[in-house]
Homo-oligomer: A and B are copies of this chain.
Amino acid sequence: MKKSPVFARARKNSKTGLPRGFALGYTAAMKKAHLAICTLAALMFLSAIQAAAQERVLRARTPIRIPDLPGYKTLKCDFHIHTVFSDGLVWPTVRVEEAWREGLDVIAITDHIEYHPHKADMTNDLNRSFEIARPLGKDLDLSVLRGSEITRAMPPGHLNAIFLTNSAPLETKYWTNAVQVAHQQGAFIFWNHPGWDAQTTNGLVLWYPEHTQLLAAGQLHGIEIVNTRDYYPEAHKWAIEKKLTLLGNSDIHSPIHFDYALANSDHRPLTLVFAKDRSAAAIKEALFARRTVVYSGSHLYGEEQYLRPLFEKSIAFNRASVKLKPKGSAVVQLANNSGLDFELTLAANPAGLEAPSRLVLPAGKTVLMRLRSTGKAGAPTPPRLAYNAANLWVAPNTPLTVILPLKISVAPPPKPAAK
């Protein structure tokens, strides 16, 4: 039987001493392919097709998968962006295309009012970068907001004003006037990078009387707790205390790819805005109403009322409940359907249960969890799986505690047989 053609494939391989399917450069498929390539021109044509396809993939938009919240759209926003019209390094339309490709919904162009290192070569018109960017935004269905960065020494440091109607009058001698003008235009005003090294005092991040004064005047509405890749715990604390809107922005000056490895799951910091719809008015309403979460690296910073549903709407078990025998175990699957990563550490050992002490839920993946009943008596209530979400922060050093949505019941230990 060994000589039967049945085993042609097998025999060939056993002869070579190589495992099945091993690559040795001479297979039937190759031979056919070789014959089929009648002319070398075909190969050149092939190459052209491939190049064209590669370009198409390059130029697509990659949506950021973050769930909407009940009643709100989750908009991905960057409210701090520079162009060649101040000290940035790209033309304003580039900012729109970058944002579109990355899956953003909203950007604000916020060139410096006072700082124009390219002024020898460029116009000083403070509205131009916005005006150039806006039409492409319309074409691409991406909101482009008119903004400006009021760029002063500390205090008060740098302030962004967005939803302006005209940037020009912000160029004034006194910063108080500049802020007032922005305020009169109905702007949403926030303090930029409070922890920026160059404006700290002996390494300390300080809140000045000037900030109190702005706050009292209703002229300070938000604060960047993240700028570039930096997180400022002090700013986060102030935001909570003083009811300022949390913001996380890129402050991008270079082409975005210089600073973020976008092809490798990296992303610029974003302010997630929970808005009634995608209109500029709705975005503005949401910002003043403080409905934001900051998303930077794999971390999310925000109020529990937003972080909790973001988490809960991102994950799903493959079954609603688990029934364990004493000392029995079960494997459940936990899917993370969002584009967010989650890292969980067990908050407290659930009574009568062994559960994973640490869970990493990568974006878009499903992981296994083994649960094991310890079999010890006296576990009164159904055990709950409480985890600290080590990348969801309701305040500095304060992670969100989440309860995994799985019903667990442990059967009582069998009664000893009566004599």
Contacts and interface: CB of A to CB of B under 8 A. Distances in A.
A243 interface: no
B5 A154 contact: yes
A408 B199 CA distance: 33
B89 A91 contact: yes
A26 B90 CA distance: 25
A419 interface: no
A202 interface: no
A305 interface: no
Nearest to A330: B139
Q: How many copies does the complex hold?
A: 4
B87 A43 contact: no
Interface string A29-56: 1110110110111011111111111111
Interface string A182-198: 00000000000000111
Given A18-B136, A20-B87, A20-B254, A298 B47 contact: yes
A17 interface: yes
A98 B98 CA distance: 16
Interface stretch (A215-223, A279-287, A351-359): A351-359
A24 B57 contact: no
Contacts of A30: 52, 356-358
B57 A360 contact: yes
Contact of A356 (B14, B24, B135): B24
A376 B5 CA distance: 24
A323 interface: no
B89 A55 contact: no
A205 B202 CA distance: 45
Contacts of A90: 89-91, 94, 255
Contact of A5 (B25, B45, B199, B256): B199
Nearest to A121: B123
B25 A368 contact: yes
Interface residues of A, number: 139
B54 A261 contact: yes
Interface stretch (A58-66, A68-76, A206-214): A58-66
A266 B54 CA distance: 9
Contact of A25 (B318, B358, B397): B358
A350 interface: no
B20 A369 contact: no
A314 to B, nearest CB: 14
B297 A7 contact: no
A46 B257 CA distance: 23
A14 B250 CA distance: 21
Contacts of A370: 16, 24-26
12 contacts: A7-B115, A16-B329, A19-B136, A23-B59, A24-B369, A36-B48, A43-B391, A51-B229, A59-B367, A90-B255, A122-B122, A140-B331
Interface of A: 1, 4-10, 12, 14, 16-26, 28-31, 33-34, 36-37, 39-41, 43-63, 84-85, 87-91, 93-94, 97-98, 101, 114-115, 117-118, 120-123, 125, 128, 132, 135-136, 139-141, 151-154, 196-199, 229-231, 233, 253-264, 266, 297-299, 318, 329, 331, 333, 335, 343, 345-346, 354-360, 362, 364-370, 372, 388, 390-391, 397-399
Given A34-B358, A57-B362, A94-B258, 8 more contacts: A5-B153, A10-B87, A19-B254, A22-B97, A25-B356, A44-B231, A53-B343, A90-B255
Top 9 closest A-B pairs, CB basis?
A: A25-B356, A23-B59, A263-B263, A60-B365, A257-B257, A28-B197, A255-B255, A56-B360, A24-B370
